[in-house]
Amino acid sequence: MANRKKTRHSITRHARSRMQERAISEIQVKLIEVFGRYTYQKGGGEIAYIPEKELQELRHAVNKLDGITIVVGKEQKIITAMHQNEKIRTTEYN
């Protein structure tokens, strides 16, 4: 899976309206935004989509997410990843 962007785009009112009309959820849009392949369009815009092969890889990965936990440090770096077998101790942030 290549050509990913880290930028988070805001969703316009027009886009929200079209998403509602077409039964496209915000999580679907976010997944395409994060994992999609971007191509430039005439006029300066871009389109993003997930090719079928990469979509199959994502489905496979999502199906195996249950019980996986990551630990993120103070510097916003992933420190470790693990299979979580016990309840996670958490600290609430206010």
pLDDT for 22-53, tens place per residue?
999 999 999 999 999 999 999 999 999 999 99
Domain boundaries, the chain: 13-83
d(Cα 29, Cα 26) in Å, to the nearest integer?
Answer: 5
DSSP state of 10: P
Q: What pLDDT, on a 0 to 100 scale, did the predictor assign at position 5?
A: 53
Is this prediction's pTM over 0.75? no
Q: What pLDDT, on a 0 to 100 scale, did the predictor assign at position 40?
A: 94
What are 73-79's contacts with CB under 8 Å, separation 24+? none
Q: CB-based contacts of 24: which residues, under 8 Å, 6+ apart?
A: 18
Burial level of 59, CB count in 10 A (0-12/13-18/19+)? exposed
